[in-house]
Chain A
Amino acid sequence: MGSLLNLLFIPLAYPFMVRGLLAVVMVGVVCAAVGTYVVLRGMAFFGDALAHAILPGLAVGYLISGGARGPLFWWGLLTAILTAIAIGAVGKRTQMKEDTAIGIIFAGMFALGIALISTVRSYAVDLAHFLFGDVLSVTPGDLVLIVVFGGLVLLTIAAFFKEFLVLSFDPILAATLRLPATLLHYLLLILIAVAVVVSLRTVGVALMVAMLVTPAATAYLLTRRLLPMMALAAFIGAISGVVGLYLSYYISVASGAAIVLVCTALFLLALLFAPGRGLVWEWLRRGHSSKGGRQ
């Protein structure tokens, strides 16, 4: 027992580890809360595209500031919000299917980002940090931004909880109740954008979608009401971040990847064993009923 506690406490001697842990908990909670709507409204592809599409914004900020990382958050935020609004508008106005439009914007922006970053000599290392995150390099200033913007996202969700619920469940009802449906839709897109930027340091753009979708999907399998689903998703997101970070400390794997793998493992557990709905339960039920049929 004592040695197990030691395993938990040893890394806490390093301030960068403590900041990293605080960051992944906040990111896990924020992404899962937003991700609940992403899962229920089938917007996973949008989230993935948005995360990738901010790369050129990061690249421009990176080139202008000569490699300094401080302003990157703001460049990412600006790009993410503009892209979210652009994708929202494209999906509404064109005759093209929305996912095709998203695919085009997403790949084009991502390529532009890579092209811009490739003009710098330390290209490979810097690109890897953008793509996969670097949670142990979170500074106290980063942490403040994560907490402030993550907190804003959570407050907004709390304030518009019932409106987002109606919009997700029945958009026509939202319209007949004369809710500002378009405004709320864009607000949700912006919340996703902010969540993406807040998580940039911890998981990077390439694995971002997992933080949005996987904890919420796991909670979806285990709950039947929206608020419990959101709360459980937040808990799963936070726990995955903490466990993933410890794993990466002790077995030396990339932290972003470790966090996402823990999320995925929890999802698989829920998929198999979710009470009443898991695959194992279904299998047991089928086995039982076929036995009953034979008697």
Chain B
Amino acid sequence: MKQSQVSALFCRHVTHEAGAPILEVSDVTVRYNSRLALEGVSFRLIRGERVAVVGPNGAGKSTLFKVITGVLHPTTGEVRVCGHKPGGHICIAYLPQRSQVDWAFPVSVADVVMMGRIGRLGLLRHPGARDWEYVHQCLEVVGLADLANRQIGELSGGQQQRMFIARALAQEAELMLMDEPLTGLDVTSQEDIFRILEELRQRGVTVMVATHDLNLAAERFDRVMLLNGRLLGLGRPDEVFTTERLQAAYGGHLRLIQTGEGLMALSDTCCEREA
């Protein structure tokens, strides 16, 4: 993608307030029936940073993402993206868990990436040559240009994940929320993803990644967020991943070992495996 197109990132529906943080979550509580999914969560993100969101199953990671995208309204509290409520933005992308997607759906890789453009195309307009060119550029960024015409079920897990990143690029998203993008990928595919995340950082895209892998979270992200209904910590990994906090988040489900260099998490034993 050319630099001009990247700098043309904007939100059509609402204008961004200069100086406002890319994301500000204030005292958000979400109640499903009688159960509290999120309780009093507040934090701010800095533009361009990469944050890992960790916590046990049912910690509210997906709920938090839904609230940030504006798909779900918090019971109390407020979310602001670039100074405005998320409902008016089309610059927030949610990348679904691969297990949530119908991979037999009759669409090609390029079709899926084009879906990201349609918020900008508007009603009653069909994509033209320039839109397909844009889609092709997004596919090049994630290294999938050769597979543009494949049916999506023919892709490997890592390629499927990269396709969704390309779709978020086509959407010109400034805030990307990725739900378990690393789960079930081999090391090479994970490295491909991190290389693209580096590219996103160059473009000033802010990225939140939900993950079960505490080691990757600690090694590869600017900040980590520890969540279990409440926000138990947000900061540098060595500040957040302390014994007390991890115990508070996971209880007995996490095995910790004190090594010479510090704390090491053996495994988060509660991962759901992919179908």
Contact in complex: A169, B126 (CB < 8 Å): no
The answer to the question of A175 belonging to the interface, with a C-beta cut-off of 8 Å to chain B, is yes
In chain B between 47 and 101, which residues have their CB closer than 8 angstroms to a CB of chain A? 66, 69-71, 87-90, 92-94, 96, 101
Contact in complex: B112, A177 (CB < 8 Å): no
Contact in complex: B123, A178 (CB < 8 Å): no
Residue of B nearest to A168 (CB): B105
In chain A between 142 and 162, which residues have their CB closer than 8 angstroms to a CB of chain B? 159-162
Checking A159, A162, A176, A229 against B127 with a beta-carbon cut-off of 8 angstroms, the contacting residue is A162
Contact in complex: B70, A169 (CB < 8 Å): no
The answer to the question of B19 belonging to the interface, with a C-beta cut-off of 8 Å to chain A, is no
Secondary structure class of chain A's binding surface, majority of residues: helix
Contact in complex: B71, A176 (CB < 8 Å): yes
The answer to the question of B31 belonging to the interface, with a C-beta cut-off of 8 Å to chain A, is no
Q: How far is the CA of A170 from the CA of B107 in the complex (A)?
A: 12
Contact in complex: B102, A177 (CB < 8 Å): no
- We find that the number of chain B residues with CB closer than 8 angstroms to chain A is 34
State how many angstroms separate the Cβ of B125 from the closest Cβ of chain A: 9
Total A-B contacts with CB atoms under 8 angstroms apart? 77
> Within 8 Å CB of A172, what residues of B?
66, 69, 71, 94, 96
State how many angstroms separate the Cβ of B173 from the closest Cβ of chain A: 9
- Chain A window 158-184, contacts with chain B (Cβ cutoff 8 Å), 1 for yes, 0 for no: 011111011011101101111100000
Q: How far is the CA of A226 from the CA of B101 in the complex (A)?
A: 16
- Chain A window 174-216, contacts with chain B (Cβ cutoff 8 Å), 1 for yes, 0 for no: 0111110000000000000000000000000000000000000
The answer to the question of A225 belonging to the interface, with a C-beta cut-off of 8 Å to chain B, is yes
The answer to the question of B121 belonging to the interface, with a C-beta cut-off of 8 Å to chain A, is yes
Q: How far is the CA of A203 from the CA of B230 in the complex (A)?
A: 57
Contact in complex: B107, A226 (CB < 8 Å): yes
The answer to the question of A40 belonging to the interface, with a C-beta cut-off of 8 Å to chain B, is yes
> Within 8 Å CB of A165, what residues of B?
107, 111, 115
B residues adjacent to A (C-beta < 8 A) = 13, 66, 69-71, 87-90, 92-94, 96, 101-102, 105-108, 111-112, 114-116, 118-119, 121, 123-124, 126-127, 151, 167, 171
8 contacts between A and B (CB under 8 A): A165-B111, A165-B115, A169-B102, A172-B71, A172-B94, A177-B90, A224-B151, A229-B106
Q: Lowest 8 A-B CB distances belong to which pairs?
A: A177-B119, A224-B151, A175-B71, A176-B69, A229-B106, A166-B115, A162-B118, A226-B106
